[in-house]
Amino acid sequence: MRAVDPLTVEFTLKAPLGDFPVFFAQTFNAGSLGMIVSPAAIQQYGDDIANNPVGAGPFMLDSWVRDNRMILKKNPNYWQQGKPYLDSVEFRPLPDTETRYSTMQNGDVDMIFGGYNNELVRAFANPDLTTYYGPGNGGFFFYFNFQQKPFDNRLMREAVVRAIDLNALGASQYSGQLIGANGLFEQSSPYHSTEAEGIWPTYDPEKAKQLVQEYVAAGGSPTFAFSTSRSEVSLGEFVQAQMAAVGITVELRFYDLAEFTSRVIQSGDFNLISWVNTFDYPYPGAARLLRSDGNVNYGKYSNPEVDRLLDEAGATTDPAERTAAYQQVEMIANQDIALAWLSRSYLSTITKPDVKGVDRYLSRDLFYSELWLDR
């Protein structure tokens, strides 16, 4: 990169990347290239810079007790005059879904980030709360571990999908308001393929039984462990019952969320796990999830053609070529049953009615300088 003048930077890339402007400007969680780290802070703190954050944002670090709370204070030198409106912001990590929602409902906090649809469904029906939510590309799904039995075999992946009654799942877990998923992109997305939708296995317990019997006849064992967080105990019991009905035995394993994330998901120590991954724009979200080296491809799904198409979609500047590539990605992933899609998932922001100025990315990240309280 080269500074052309005080307000212009020129980038020269080693390879085509048509989505570079999008990638550059996306949020931190999407891997934004536009985040600039202070050279002086790097020189002062070195490898410990993560514990000493320095930035040009609307707030500055005041105090931080890990796994407890972080308090930010107003930045008096913020570049937008008159902002931020709030004097301070306090963040609390509340990883348990039920605890997070009850804390919001009880009025102990002013805002929560909802990670699961059951929070959004309840908050949406509560007149004392205000909800915001974005698009549902990706969603709530199960990761298959492609490197372990039985899910290195497509028969068992298809059996699991066909054994799950989404209507029953919605009734038992989502107050009857589940929006079923059958592919990488939601139906309104231009990248969604009706062809991919058509080949996705539908609920069919009799077909699931046949697939299990075929797997057993070839010497396989119709057993696996289902791992998830302690907040999803009822989901685990639902999965166990659905699988038993088609001849599959499931061992349930529950973990605290922190342990589930580090010990189970990131280590790859699982057969089948539940997870949520939602994104508004396909680059880089789709590649992170489905590319062979994707950093959230925890099941280690791998298909060279999918890798090629994902690279092609990111490189091209032609919208029609990009759309066609992503539609092919969705179709091949559905053919392979790369993931067990369950529902669309809408990352939500839930607030008290007096929280105003909520200005957020579709992916839920906020512009905190705009927030104010109507009190």
Backbone phi, psi, residue 34, to 5° = -85, 5
pLDDT of 213 reads: 98
SS3 262: helix
Residue 29 pLDDT exceeds 80: no
Q: pLDDT tens digit string along 125-162?
A: 899 999 988 767 898 999 999 999 999 999 999 999 99
Report the 10 Å Cβ neighbour count for 9: 9
Residues 337 and 305: their CA atoms lie apart, in Å, by 15
pLDDT of 177 reads: 77
Residue among 132, 140, 123 at smallest CA distance from 277: 140
Residue 19 pLDDT exceeds 90: no
Question: Which ranges of 291-354 would DSSP assign to H, the alpha helix?
Answer: 304-315, 319-336
Positions of CATH 3.10.105.10 in the chain: 137-343
Q: Which of the two residues, 44 and 175, has the higher pLDDT score?
A: 44
pLDDT of 363 reads: 67
Q: Which residues contact residue 255 at a Cβ distance below 8 angstroms, ignoring those fewer than 6 apart?
A: 227, 228, 229, 230, 263, 264
pLDDT of 31 reads: 61
Residue among 136, 34, 132 at smallest CA distance from 371: 132
> Per-residue confidence at 372, pLDDT binned at 50, 70, 90?
very high
Q: pLDDT tens digit string along 275-321?
A: 988 888 898 889 999 999 999 999 999 999 999 999 999 999 999 99
Tokens of 8: 């212009």
Which CATH fold topology does 137-343 show? Dipeptide-binding Protein; domain 3 (3.10.105)
Concatenate the DSSP letters of all residues of 190-205 into one string.
Answer: TT--HHHHHHSPPP-H
pLDDT of 135 reads: 66
pLDDT of 255 reads: 92
Residues 53 and 49: their CA atoms lie apart, in Å, by 6
pLDDT of 345 reads: 80
